[in-house]
Amino acid sequence: CIHESEMVGLLGPNGSGKTTLLRLLSGVLQPQQGQILLMGRDLRAWGRRSSARRIALVPQELHMPFAFTVEHMVSLGRTPFLKPFLGARTQHDRQIVEEAIEATGIAPLAGNIFNELSGGERQRVMIAMALAQQPAVLLLDEPTSHLDIKYQIETLELVQKLHSQRGVTVVAALHDLNLAARYFPRLLLFQRGIVADGAPTEVLEPGLLSRVYGIRVQVGILRGAEHLSILPPDNREKIAAEEDRPQPQVHVIAGGGSGALLMRALADERILFVAGALNIGDSDHTLALRLATDVITEQPYAPISSSTLEQVRKSLRQIRLLILCPTPFGPGNLPLLREAVQFAQSSRPVVLLTMSENEALCSDHDESDDSSMTTRDYTGGEATRLMRELIQAGAIEAKSVGEVIEIVKKQMVIAARTFPPDSFSS
Band of pLDDT at residue 68, cut at 50, 70 and 90: very high
**Domain CATH for 370:** 3.40.50
DSSP state of 377: B
**What is the domain count for the chain?**
2
Residue 207 CA to residue 196 CA, distance in Å, equals: 12
Helix (H, G, I), strand (E, B) or coil at 80: helix
Same domain, 49 and 105: yes
Domain hosting 28: range is 7-216
Instruction: Give the pLDDT confidence of 2-40 residue by residue, as tens digits.
Output: 999 999 999 999 888 898 999 999 998 988 888 899 888
Residue 404 CA to residue 254 CA, distance in Å, equals: 14
Same domain, 199 and 58: yes
Whether the pLDDT of residue 84 is over 60: the answer is yes
> Which stretches does DSSP call E strand in 110-248?
137-141, 169-173, 186-190, 194-198, 218-222, 227-231
Confirm whether 32 is domain-assigned: yes
Same domain, 252 and 208: no
In our burial notation (b when 16+ CB lie closer than 10 A, e otherwise), range 259-268 reads: bbbbbebbbe
Band of pLDDT at residue 228, cut at 50, 70 and 90: low
Q: What percent of the chain has pLDDT over 70?
A: 85
Q: Check: CB of residue 351 under 8 Å from CB of residue 394.
A: no
Same domain, 262 and 118: no
Confirm whether 102 is domain-assigned: yes
CA distances to 14, 294, 325, 335 from 276, in Å: 23, 9, 11, 12
Confirm whether 239 is domain-assigned: no
Same domain, 208 and 352: no
Residue 100 CA to residue 181 CA, distance in Å, equals: 27
State the chain's mean pLDDT as an integer. Answer: 85
Confirm whether 340 is domain-assigned: yes
Same domain, 144 and 263: no
Confirm whether 45 is domain-assigned: yes
CA distances to 98, 116, 126 from 110, in Å: 10, 12, 13
Alpha carbon of residue 105 to chain centroid: 35
Worst-scoring range by mean pLDDT, 89-93, 124-128, 375-379? 89-93
Residue 266 CA to residue 406 CA, distance in Å, equals: 11
Same domain, 167 and 288: no
Same domain, 85 and 211: yes
Same domain, 205 and 271: no
Instruction: Give the pLDDT confidence of 248-286 residue by residue, as tens digits.
Output: 999 999 999 999 999 999 998 989 999 999 998 788 988
Largest CA distance in the chain: 86
Confirm whether 230 is domain-assigned: no
pTM: 0.66
Q: Check: CB of residue 120 under 8 Å from CB of residue 151.
A: yes
Residue 81 CA to residue 49 CA, distance in Å, equals: 8
Confirm whether 116 is domain-assigned: yes
Q: Check: CB of residue 402 under 8 Å from CB of residue 360.
A: no
Same domain, 68 and 193: yes
Confirm whether 386 is domain-assigned: yes
Same domain, 60 and 206: yes
Q: Which of 125, 132, 121 is nearest to 96 (CA)?
A: 132
**Domain CATH for 33:** 3.40.50.300
Q: Check: CB of residue 286 under 8 Å from CB of residue 307.
A: no
**pLDDT number for residue 299:** 83
What is the per-residue DSSP string for 273-329?
EEEEEEETT-HHHHHHHHH-SEEEEE-TTPPPPHHHHHHHHHHHHH-SEEEE----B
Instruction: Give the pLDDT confidence of 289-314 residue by residue, as tens digits.
Output: 888 988 998 888 889 999 999 999 99
Average pLDDT over residues 343-371: 64
Q: Check: CB of residue 257 under 8 Å from CB of residue 376.
A: no
**pLDDT number for residue 382:** 95
Same domain, 189 and 267: no
CA distances to 15, 26, 29, 58 from 48, in Å: 26, 9, 12, 16
